[in-house]
Amino acid sequence: QQQVKQSPQSLIVQKGGIPIINCAYENTAFDYFPWYQQFPGKGPALLIAIRPDVSEKKEGRFTISFNKSAKQFSLHIMDSQPGDSATYFCAASNHGNQFYFGTGTSLTVIP
Amino acid sequence: NAGVTQTPKFRILKIGQSMTLQCTQDMNHNYMYWYRQDPGMGLKLIYYSVGAGITDKGEVPNGYNVSRSTTEDFPLRLELAAPSQTSVYFCASSRSEGYGYTFGSGTRLTVV
């Protein structure tokens, strides 16, 4: 049973486009929602995270939108660059002891 | 500052062999984790630890064991390797609950 459902599985955008990756969850006890970026051969790296008391969080070109009533959250990458090409994972946790990860989205940004 | 260090980076095991994947962190984090990553499946939690001497099972603990004798080290033991344990293994740490992880660079394990 997948606790966090992520889509799409892969995404191709032109440089400057705004890729959007979506995640949905069922457990209303989740209280922390991070996104991770993973380059080939490397471990995932924390990109940005949000808690359910806010609806949006921005850090540089990365924005998380959070819809508590719909139990959905999404990652937007503004002005995407070829260097953003990576696999992105959403995750959710309940008090932080166990994180449940989405299945990942492979993003390719074409120059 | 090395962060989370995993060794080895690659390993090929024969069915039935045993091995230990090493993980050490230098950030004085109390929380440490072991995940496995399979294609199209995301990351699945194997075991975690909230401090020295304390460990607990995650989603997929069968076939693995861990120990946490110090804050820095959290080794993962495979006793009787099986082909189903072919995967990429990641160790991670965090300073406390509710904070994001710092991951190691992974160990790619193949069981043949």
The dihedral region occupied by B10, where left means phi > 0, alpha psi between -120 and 50, and beta the remainder, is beta
Structure tokens at B76: 């993962």
Listed in sequence order, the residues at least 6 apart from A59 whose beta carbon sits closer than 8 Å to its beta carbon are A47, A48
Residue pLDDT, tens place only, B21-55? 999 999 999 999 999 999 878 899 999 999 999 99
pLDDT score, position B40: 78
pLDDT score, position B1: 63
Q: How confident is the model at residue A5 (pLDDT cuts 50, 70, 90)?
A: very high
In this model, does residue A102 exceed pLDDT 90?
A: yes
3-state secondary structure of A102: coil
Q: What is the mean pLDDT of residues A85-94?
A: 94
3-state secondary structure of A98: coil
Residue pLDDT, tens place only, B62-101? 999 999 999 999 999 998 999 999 999 999 999 877 678 8
Report the residue of B31, B38, B43, B55 to disrupt the A interface, i.e. the one with the largest count of A CBs within 10 Å. B43
Chain B residues with beta carbon closer than 8 angstroms to that of A41: 105-106
With CB atoms and an 8 Å threshold, state whether A96 touches B97. yes
**Would you say A105 and A84 are in contact if contact means Cβ atoms under 8 Å apart?**
no
pLDDT score, position A97: 65
pLDDT score, position B39: 82
Chain B residues with beta carbon closer than 8 angstroms to that of A102: 42
Question: What separation in angstroms does the CA of B57 have from each of A6, A38, A84, B10, B67?
Answer: 24, 25, 34, 25, 12
Rounded CA-CA distance B92/B37 in Å is: 13
With CB atoms and an 8 Å threshold, state whether A103 touches B101. no
**Would you say A76 and A20 are in contact if contact means Cβ atoms under 8 Å apart?**
yes
